[in-house]
Structure 1
């Protein structure tokens, strides 16, 4: 694969969530006319390595076994989708390897499977990749989804990085000929906050419609029974089955300590019934850096 080309990078462990994530890449890869790269990471000194090393005798046999499984999966995907697939085996801490390979391969996006658990935080690997990747990360739960993207949900607040999120939503909507639903959650009774959110909703809607994309905007009030804004957003997704993707920022304000992923972003990533595109706000986050080349 040419180093100058873009690809979609998929973290794979052969579990159902990562296999579902692969399924979600097909249309996007076709629309962007780029290849898929499946990445399997062998963790040093982890339990699975010891288990498989005992089963296969040594690390070389383990790697050969993984190569065979990856090759079989590659052939299956290419046969079903017609998309060129590359496979890579890395060694080390999964988040480090994923982030390094994403930069080496000029990944336009990273896809990762995630499970829905009762835990209050997302998995360590997903957490670290989502908060530090230079390209968007799409997390997918182990369920089936609509084939394509009809409507993109775009929650907006009053932070400065809103423009990057809007830019990505527009580009994805263009690719899929999708609609965009903008929502803002009002958590207070402050009239000034309400006014500012309504102004931003109107400006964002007008900007998106100038791009010839159908768009609606809605201000939703958080009820006393809602624990936080994430709960309001998750309920909204469940009430609108036409939504196929949600776009969020994983660090809502500059200066947020980047060792921790915002708790409400974690809740959305862990519990959303649709794929979640997470974007870390920085200069590389604009789609022109990735899709315009």
Structure 2
């Protein structure tokens, strides 16, 4: 599926409403630099609320209407003909399980989706709890957008670093994206103890990552934040509000011995509160010994 250097296929689940344009516009930025195929997919509810009422013929009719509506919207967006790299698809089923199934079948490299804000909105495509499930169980990166896509492409990418976790997968993706988009990487870590910055693990780890990025010819800035007794996500969100990058990179899972599919608290807070698109990277499996003994980035 995913390769750091290739984003061949992007799955973009969309509602039959004006919100479809937000993830589509973001996907088009990726097409410009990767030549990606964009699959716009509308998922028709499986009528689970009305078992036995809707028969197979009515379901097929409903799907056809959804396909016609989707085609009308996309033709309107492109002011005429739909480009060859944009493929329309309508599926029936539960939203999250269908997205995961199709992403696996098509071996997608990226999923881009607009999610609801934490204030519950009944008819939003992706509510907060659904976003958590999708991101936690996806086998490829997921790019979530709350408000709007980046307006002028991707020029600045923020990458928080946790000193206790191996970050090679996130660094590799960050380097790949920065090279493709000609973006600047902003590497940050949070210091929550009273120690000289240059003596901290956070500083030394960030400097190793900075050196790796510079070797690839990418512009990089490194900043160590002081949490001042606050959770690290608060320090990152405050910094983000000042920098306003075009995208932030995070790891999806909180590492655990069993490597269960769940989101750590830091990832969850960033995903649901970030004002900019969040690129959630699937971490490589690694052992406890790897995590605590490895000195690689």
TM range (shorter): 0.7 to 0.9
Q: Tell me, yes or no, if structure 1 residue 171 matches structure 2 residue 176.
A: yes
The answer for the alignment partner of 2:113 in structure 1 is 112
The answer for the alignment partner of 2:13 in structure 1 is 11
The answer for the alignment partner of 2:192 in structure 1 is 187
CA contact (8 A) 2:154 2:247 kept: yes
Change (3 A) 1:95 1:137: same
**1 CA distance for matches of 2:20 and 2:198?**
40
User: How many positions carry a matched residue from both structures?
Assistant: 271
- Of stretches 87-96 and 101-110 in structure 1, the one that deviates more from structure 2 is 87-96
**Partner-residue secondary structure (3-state), 2:109:** strand
Which of these residues, 238, 255, 260, is aligned with residue 241 of structure 2? Answer: 238
Q: Which structure 2 segments of 5+ residues have no match? A: 1-6, 121-126, 286-297
**1 CA distance for matches of 2:215 and 2:131?**
35
**Partner-residue secondary structure (3-state), 2:200:** helix
CA contact (8 A) 2:187 2:221 kept: yes
Cα-Cα RMSD = 2.8
Give the 5 Å matches for 1:81-120.
Answer: 82=83, 84-118=85-119
Q: Tell me, yes or no, if structure 1 residue 64 matches structure 2 residue 59.
A: no
CA contact (8 A) 1:30 1:83 kept: no
TM-score (norm 2): 0.82
CA contact (8 A) 1:17 1:141 kept: no
Change (3 A) 1:96 1:62: same
Displacement of 1:144 in angstroms is 5.0
**1 CA distance for matches of 2:84 and 2:188?**
35
**2 CA distance for matches of 1:34 and 1:143?**
21
**Partner-residue secondary structure (3-state), 1:58:** helix
Which of these residues, 235, 248, 251, is aligned with residue 250 of structure 2? Answer: 248
**2 CA distance for matches of 1:64 and 1:155?**
44
Displacement of 1:219 in angstroms is 0.6
Q: Which runs of 4+ in 1 moved over 6 A?
A: none
Displacement of 1:111 in angstroms is 0.4
Give the 5 Å matches for 1:244-283.
Answer: 244-255=246-257, 258-282=260-284
Q: Which structure 1 segments of 5+ residues have no match? A: 284-293
Displacement of 1:245 in angstroms is 0.5
The answer for the alignment partner of 1:34 in structure 2 is 36
Q: Tell me, yes or no, if structure 1 residue 229 matches structure 2 residue 269.
A: no
The answer for the alignment partner of 2:163 in structure 1 is 158
Deviations for 1:112-164, whole angstroms, at most 9, x for unmatched residues?
11122247xx6232211211212110001133532201110000012343111
The answer for the alignment partner of 1:291 in structure 2 is none
**1 CA distance for matches of 2:153 and 2:258?**
34
Displacement of 1:75 in angstroms is 2.6
**2 CA distance for matches of 1:250 and 1:191?**
30
Change (3 A) 1:195 1:168: same
Displacement of 1:82 in angstroms is 4.6
